[in-house]
């Protein structure tokens, strides 16, 4: 039993600025840093750190070799990661100024994933295996349909949530993982009231397993008439980046080991509570031995 995470890889180029650059202005940055990002990447690293064998399938440009090295360093298998010389590796240009940011996102190779690549990758997986996806790559409908045909269990973290999600064959998803904003979107609600979102999700998807995280409010698991709540652990928060990705990786790894939902929610919450105490994304995800 293995996990195939078919997902995004993004370079985050972070520039600290005196002020946000105006039209016609050329402005030097105060500092620069490059991080490895993408929800796909973070979740593969979280799965690996949780002790679950994980294959990351995706696509990078000719400048993407260090992504492959980076994933390998954490023990993520990259046999099905494709290098495409005609594309730029997905990236974000992030201006940071006085705690605010401004972001240009270019999907690049993440948005060049096509039916051929999906067929080539899925050939290596079968009905024992789990497919994990987020909403940051192309050809999602094809991917879901083919994986379902193979009998794979499909776990969908609907992030970032947008209208396209409703065009996917959602009946083929086994588990949805959302935060409260994505949960409201999935239930087509405007409200931020957690009870209403939970009610809405259970009404629209009564037969799906749904995991909803809600930051400091903890997390919820819903399936048919089951509703479980897990408190968040009280910690000093430094940076909540990748909290949700950590949660997804540890929850899934734990569920695949023994299927104990309450234990999986608890482990995922403990892991995410460590992530929020560190700066950055992948580097703040804990190893299972720390929990």
Ligand X SMILES: Nc1ncnc2c1ncn2[C@@H]1O[C@H](COP(=O)(O)OP(=O)(O)O)[C@@H](O)[C@H]1O
Q: How many residues bind Mg ion (CB under 5 A)?
A: 2
Nearest-angstrom CA–CA distance, 82 and 59 = 5
Residue 219 in contact with ligand X, rule: CB under 6 A? yes
**Residue placing its CB nearer to Mg ion in the complex, 165 or 178:** 178
Nearest-Å Rg of the Cα atoms of the chain is 19
Residue 213 in contact with ligand X, rule: CB under 6 A? yes
**Residues numbered 225-254 forming contacts with ligand X, rule: CB under 6 A:** 232-233, 235, 237, 240, 243-244, 247
Question: Which residues face 93 on adjacent strands?
Answer: 13, 104
The nearest distance, CB 182 to ligand X, in angstroms, is 7
Tokens standing for residue 86: 């005609």
Instruction: Give how far the C-alpha of residue 50 lies from the chain's centroid of Cα atoms, to the nearest Å.
Output: 15
Place of tokens 């948005």: 111
The nearest distance, CB 216 to ligand X, in angstroms, is 4
- Which is it for strands 10-16 and 81-83: parallel, antiparallel or unpaired? unpaired
**Residues numbered 163-182 forming contacts with ligand X, rule: CB under 6 A:** 179
**Residue placing its CB nearer to ligand X in the complex, 71 or 285:** 285
SS3 44: helix
Query: Among candidates 29, 160, 40, which has minimal Cα distance to 93?
Result: 29
Q: How many residues bind ligand X (CB under 6 A)?
A: 19
Q: Which stretch binds ligand X (CB under 6 A): 2-10, 142-150, 195-203, 268-276?
A: 268-276
User: Pick from 53, 215, 218, 278: which binds Mg ion (CB under 5 A)?
Assistant: 215
Count of CB atoms situated within 10 Å of the CB of 88: 18
DSSP secondary structure code for residue 214 in this structure: -
The nearest distance, CB 266 to ligand X, in angstroms, is 10
Residue 278 in contact with ligand X, rule: CB under 6 A? no
Tokens standing for residue 78: 């990259």
Tokens standing for residue 157: 């973290």
The nearest distance, CB 11 to ligand X, in angstroms, is 20
Q: Which stretch binds ligand X (CB under 6 A): 40-48, 116-124, 187-195, 214-222?
A: 214-222
Q: Summarize as ranges the residues that interact with Mg ion (CB under 5 A).
A: 179, 215
């Amino acid at each position: 039993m293995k996990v195939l995470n078919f997902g995004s890889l993004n370079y985050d180029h972070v520039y600290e600025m005196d002020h946000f650059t105006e039209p016609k202005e050329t402005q030097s940055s105060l500092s620069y840093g490059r991080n490895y990002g993408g929800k796909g990447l973070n979740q593969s690293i979280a799965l690996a750190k949780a002790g679950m064998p994980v294959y990351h399938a995706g696509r990078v440009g000719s400048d993407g070799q260090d992504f492959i090295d980076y994933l390998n360093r954490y023990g993520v298998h990259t046999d099905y990661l494709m290098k495409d010389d005609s594309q730029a590796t997905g990236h974000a240009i992030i201006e940071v100024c006085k705690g605010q940011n401004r972001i240009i996102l270019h999907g690049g190779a993440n948005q060049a994933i096509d039916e051929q690549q999906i067929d080539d990758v899925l050939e290596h997986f079968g009905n024992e295996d789990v497919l994990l996806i987020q909403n940051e790559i192309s050809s999602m409908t094809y991917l879901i349909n083919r994986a379902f045909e193979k009998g794979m269990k499909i776990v969908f973290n609907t992030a970032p949530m947008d209208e396209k999600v409703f065009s996917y064959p959602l009946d083929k998803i086994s588990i949805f993982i959302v935060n409260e904003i994505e949960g409201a979107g999935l239930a087509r609600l405007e409200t931020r009231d957690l009870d209403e979102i939970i009610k809405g999700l259970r009404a629209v998807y009564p037969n799906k397993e749904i995991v909803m995280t809600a930051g400091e409010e903890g997390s919820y698991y819903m399936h048919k008439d089951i509703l479980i709540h897990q408190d968040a652990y009280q910690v000093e928060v430094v940076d909540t980046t990748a909290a949700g990705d950590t949660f997804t990786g540890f929850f899934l790894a734990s569920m695949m080991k023994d299927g104990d939902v309450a234990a999986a929610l608890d482990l995922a919450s403990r892991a995410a509570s460590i992530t929020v105490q560190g700066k950055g994304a992948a580097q703040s995800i804990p190893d299972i031995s720390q929990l």
